[in-house]
Structure 1
Amino acid sequence: MSWLRWLWLCLKMIYQLFCCSMSLISLLFNVFWFCCTLASAIIPWCTLTLLSICVASKFVKLRTPNEKRLLNLFHEPGDISYWPIANRGAGYDAPENSKAAVKKCLARGYRNVLLDAGLTACGEIVIANRQTLERAGLSGGLAHHTLAELQKINITELHPMGSQYDAEHIATLKELADFLDEQSTPLTLFLHIHDNSARMLERLQQFMASREQFRQRTIIISPSPLAIYQLRKLQPEIICGLWHETYLSLAILKSSTLITSIYGAVLRNIIAPVIGISVVFLSKEEFNLHIADLWRNVGVYGVYVYMVNSPTEKRYFQKTLKTQYLTDSLRSEPHLLMKA
């Protein structure tokens, strides 16, 4: 009778397997039902919230700068000076953020220059960055030092080719504006502010309000949409641009295409039109023609790429993508190498 015993055990195992399978199916069904119920409750609220944000954005939207004034700042694609924007005055070729570097750019025929700006401990806006202080052996950022301390630094001696230039101290924003007024060649200045504090924005607003000619040719660049909004809220005629940092796209966001797409759509279609940005700087790793078209479709005039230094990359952005780029060196421009 042992075979009956084994038959009973097999039937018992089959029954237990059936019960476990039904329990698993029931659990999966309950989870699916819960997700559907939750989605049906959340999705309408999410849609309603998004619509409310879109409607509200129309009321808080800042006035964009004059279109004719914007077009005057952008050069024609046929112009050699159109493609590169000299980062820190082409800091690989001359002392970065210096008047000498700006002079060299203008002498070469390049009229797009990006310079760094920050606020000192005594409340003075200066043309410098943290890296300059580190090379000079000073710890902390600009906000930890007074103007008197900073102007003791000879920024030309910190550069590998500094022996070719006269000694020069860190310039204030006023000194830079006076220097640009003396130049016969017009220049489009991209002023990259690294300090987005309320004190910095207040000082910058006051300066821009007092220097009409400087404001006409300057584009303020910041990685903070809130800082741009605060800056343009009182003076909508100030032209601003967004520096799109790659670290804003966190690893957890990059792992989800949906989340990344929603983040980009909100930034471009809601935040950018509300704060009224005119240009945007994108990392070359995240740039393509489709992304550029999306930014232009929301009214952004200039879509620029950073950092592009090799001649091959520059030729690619010029000939294929037809996109302006930020570069540290003007010596590697394709047309100059072709002549050489």
Structure 2
Amino acid sequence: MLQLGDEVTLYSVVFVVVLLGTRSPVWTTVLTASLYLFLGLFRFPQVPAGRVQRVLHPANAAAGSAKVSVVAHRGGGHDAPENTIAAIREASKNGATGVELDLEFSADGVPILMHDETVDRTTNGTGPLSQMRFSDLRKLDASAKHRLREKFVGEKIPTLEEAVEECIKLQLTIYFDVKGHPDEAAAALEELYRKHPILYNSSIVCSFEPKVIYRMRQSDPEVVTALTHRPWHLSRFGDGAPRFSSPLKHHWMTLMDIVLDSALHHILWKLCGISALLIQKNFVSPDYVHYWAQRGVHVVAWTVNTKVEKEYYEELLQVNYITDSLVEDCEPHY
């Protein structure tokens, strides 16, 4: 829930901005009241805290402890070919509590694990997913571009169902990272949760796109969800480089970043009723963790890839983190 200070600040800012824009006290009151009613009518409540604790801190949930969970990014893409069954097995063997897996779709609508919109970066194939049927994707070698490809030669692109069954067998928490396709993703995940009810206590659905999370809550309000966020991600890449060469477009998207960041912290999290926020590691601090803890939202940091960073999150911040490797330091994937 928003704290009282949040409520007062949010509606005060809206009131002042609308008043300055319209110079009409009547319209200002109507529009501010409409926002209040909209949030009251259409927001989703957060999932009960006890179940969120079981999902995010499974090892010690029964004892009420908040032991840090280590989650393998894309299944642990440094230690094995990302988003594959081999990666899931390696993550489990190396001590991961859970795995983050990317949900995408083949041209014929099969839910699969894939981070990119094309197969070029990770496989021996080329082309966009939107033009490749699952039967064609299955022929590709998902280890072809990996640094340990000789160890994992012939690894296939798995279906979402295959990956989930493997995670359940290995008792791994699943962080479903949904890239887009709100309706398709919600339908695919709803079917999975119906088939495997254990997922309600062992998985969380995450996305950069609020509409994906809102659509998921519409499909099944019992699913634990999270928004993923990196400030300035609309205008800049993960390494800080501008996304756009046009100064006009860059400045416009920078403005959109400011709007999105403010909306996430004051409106979107509450509208979606999220239980966690997955935030890029450079923006996590004790104050930031405390800010969200007051609102019943857990912070999960990504991508934490060095021993020193891991110790900081485990011992000082005591928050879950997502990492590319369970065994050694490595460069982060954004």
Q: Are 1:203 and 2:188 an aligned pair?
A: yes
Q: Are 1:326 and 2:322 an aligned pair?
A: yes
Given that 2:207 and 2:227 are in contact with CA atoms closer than 8 Å, whether structure 1 keeps it comes out as yes
Cα deviation digits, residues 175-232 of structure 1 (max 9, x gap): 122223433xx21110111133433333332333332123431211111111111111
Closer, same or farther: CA 129–144 of 1 in aligned 2, 3 Å: farther
The amino acid that maps onto 1:99 is I
Aligned to 2:308: 312
The amino acid that maps onto 1:280 is L
Q: Are 1:273 and 2:258 an aligned pair?
A: no
Given that 1:66 and 1:237 are in contact with CA atoms closer than 8 Å, whether structure 2 keeps it comes out as no
Closer, same or farther: CA 56–201 of 1 in aligned 2, 3 Å: same
Instruction: Please give the alpha-carbon distance, in whole angstroms, between the structure 2 residues aligned to 1:238 and 1:178.
Output: 18
CA RMSD of aligned residues (A): 3.2
Instruction: Please give the alpha-carbon distance, in whole angstroms, between the structure 2 residues aligned to 1:158 and 1:332.
Output: 20
Higher normalized helix content (fraction of residues)? 1
Closer, same or farther: CA 149–40 of 1 in aligned 2, 3 Å: closer
Aligned to 2:45: 63
Identical-pair percentage = 24
Instruction: Please give the alpha-carbon distance, in whole angstroms, between the structure 2 residues aligned to 1:285 and 1:131.
Output: 26
The amino acid that maps onto 1:123 is G
TM-score by length of 2: 0.75
- Judge which range, 130-139 or 215-224, deviates more: 130-139
Instruction: Please give the alpha-carbon distance, in whole angstroms, between the structure 2 residues aligned to 1:254 and 1:284.
Output: 22
SS in 1 for 2:52: helix
Instruction: Please give the alpha-carbon distance, in whole angstroms, between the structure 2 residues aligned to 1:298 and 1:46.
Output: 28
- Judge which range, 210-219 or 107-116, deviates more: 210-219
Instruction: Please give the alpha-carbon distance, in whole angstroms, between the structure 1 residues aligned to 2:291 and 2:42.
Output: 22
Instruction: Please give the alpha-carbon distance, in whole angstroms, between the structure 2 residues aligned to 1:213 and 1:179.
Output: 13
Aligned to 1:112: 98
Aligned to 2:56: 74
Task: Say which of 275, 289, 297 aligns to 1:292.
Answer: 289
Closer, same or farther: CA 47–85 of 1 in aligned 2, 3 Å: farther
Instruction: Please give the alpha-carbon distance, in whole angstroms, between the structure 1 residues aligned to 2:104 and 2:269.
Output: 24
Closer, same or farther: CA 41–212 of 1 in aligned 2, 3 Å: same
Given that 1:54 and 1:270 are in contact with CA atoms closer than 8 Å, whether structure 2 keeps it comes out as no
The amino acid that maps onto 1:193 is V
Q: Are 1:54 and 2:54 an aligned pair?
A: no
| TM-fit CA distance, 1:233 | 0.8
Instruction: Please give the alpha-carbon distance, in whole angstroms, between the structure 1 residues aligned to 2:32 and 2:102.
Output: 36
Task: Say which of 217, 221, 227 aligns to 1:236.
Answer: 221
Q: Are 1:143 and 2:101 an aligned pair?
A: no
Given that 1:117 and 1:128 are in contact with CA atoms closer than 8 Å, whether structure 2 keeps it comes out as yes
Q: Give the 5 Å matches for 1:139-218.
A: 139-165=126-152, 167-183=154-170, 186-218=171-203
The amino acid that maps onto 1:122 is D
Q: Are 1:122 and 2:108 an aligned pair?
A: yes
Instruction: Please give the alpha-carbon distance, in whole angstroms, between the structure 1 residues aligned to 2:34 and 2:154.
Output: 57
Q: Would you say how many aligned residue pairs link Structure 1 and Structure 2?
A: 291
Instruction: Please give the alpha-carbon distance, in whole angstroms, between the structure 1 residues aligned to 2:183 and 2:96.
Output: 33
- Judge which range, 244-253 or 90-99, deviates more: 244-253
| TM-fit CA distance, 1:40 | 8.6
TM-score by length of 1: 0.74
Cα deviation digits, residues 52-82 of structure 1 (max 9, x gap): 3133211112233233221112224999983
Instruction: Please give the alpha-carbon distance, in whole angstroms, between the structure 1 residues aligned to 2:83 and 2:44.
Output: 31
Give 5+ residue unaligned stretches, structure 1: 1-36, 334-340
Instruction: Please give the alpha-carbon distance, in whole angstroms, between the structure 2 residues aligned to 1:95 and 1:248.
Output: 26
Structure ID, larger Rg: 1
Given that 1:87 and 1:328 are in contact with CA atoms closer than 8 Å, whether structure 2 keeps it comes out as yes
- Judge which range, 226-235 or 151-160, deviates more: 151-160
SS in 1 for 2:23: helix
Given that 1:119 and 1:195 are in contact with CA atoms closer than 8 Å, whether structure 2 keeps it comes out as no
